[in-house]
Amino acid sequence: MSYRLLKEECHAANLALPRTGLVYLTFGNVSVADPERRVFAIKPSGVDYGRLSPNDMVVIDYEGRVIEGALRPSSDTPTHRRLFLSFPGIRAIVHTHSRNAVAFAQAGRGIPCMGTTHCDYFHGAVPVTRALSPEEIAGDYEWETGGVIVERFAGAKLNPLECPAVLVRNHGPFTWGASGERAVEAAMALEIVADMARRTLELNPEAAPVPPTLLDKHFFRKHGAGAYYGQPGRH
């Protein structure tokens, strides 16, 4: 059974990250899943982006077993696996340490939806998780990181397909999408709106979020059955 196309998509998405300016050193990773085969490819741990090849991508099954690959997978692999198991409909996940999104995560604050740029990508504020407990940190840390994300979405009844991003408290952002390319785009959009929100709050700490009518208008003109932004069949 060949995983060539899966590994090539994962490799291309990982190479896109440094070009966006969202990652530094070897920070960050992308995974791309094949839900039908219940496997995903992910960047190997600690390998410089300039040295990556498609064959370096590690293929993991949804039970956490390495199916293909000689290198150690990203240390964030259990987090990715938990999200694939819990959020049907997503095919790719991106984790970065982009500066503005991390600043909100470190402040323990979600990114408020202050304007239409945010509305175009995220249907409401980007949530932040609670902090992990000492027991969660000492235990299966990366798996529990996925757990607090799932808990946050379940507790607030958030739809991960309408809000393809989250901030993990004291850590940083995870985004996702229907492909490696779309998940990277979500990571770029997240950093842009985080920067805009930070600047807005610096100018006016009392600035109010956009009204729900404007939020719905901008989000649903790009997403869902009634979308009319862009060209048919092009994403």
Q: How far apart are CA 216 and CA 229, in angstroms?
A: 14
According to the model, what pLDDT value does residue 1 have?
66
pLDDT at 232: 64
CA pair distance 33, 62, nearest whole angstrom: 9
Of 1.10.1200.10, 3.90.950.20, 3.40.50.300, 3.40.225.10, the CATH number of 4-220 is 3.40.225.10
Q: What is the pLDDT of residue 221?
A: 87
Q: What is the DSSP letter of 131?
A: P
Average pLDDT over every residue of 31-37? 97
What digits encode the pLDDT tens for the residues 55-79?
Answer: 999 999 999 999 999 999 999 999 9
CB 168 within 8 A of CB 144: no
Model confidence at 24, pLDDT cuts 50, 70, 90, reads confident
Mean pLDDT of 120-131: 97
**Banded model confidence at residue 193, pLDDT cuts 50, 70, 90:** very high
Higher pLDDT among residues 28 and 146, named by residue: 146
10-19, 142-151, 178-187, 223-232: the lowest-pLDDT one: 223-232
Neighbour-count burial of 143, counting CB atoms closer than 10 A to its CB (0-12 exposed, 13-18 middle, 19+ buried): middle
Which residues belong to the active site? 120, 229
Q: Which helix (H) or strand (E) holds 216?
A: helix 212-220
Domain ranges of the chain: 4-220
The DSSP element (H or E) to which 103 belongs, if any, is helix 99-107
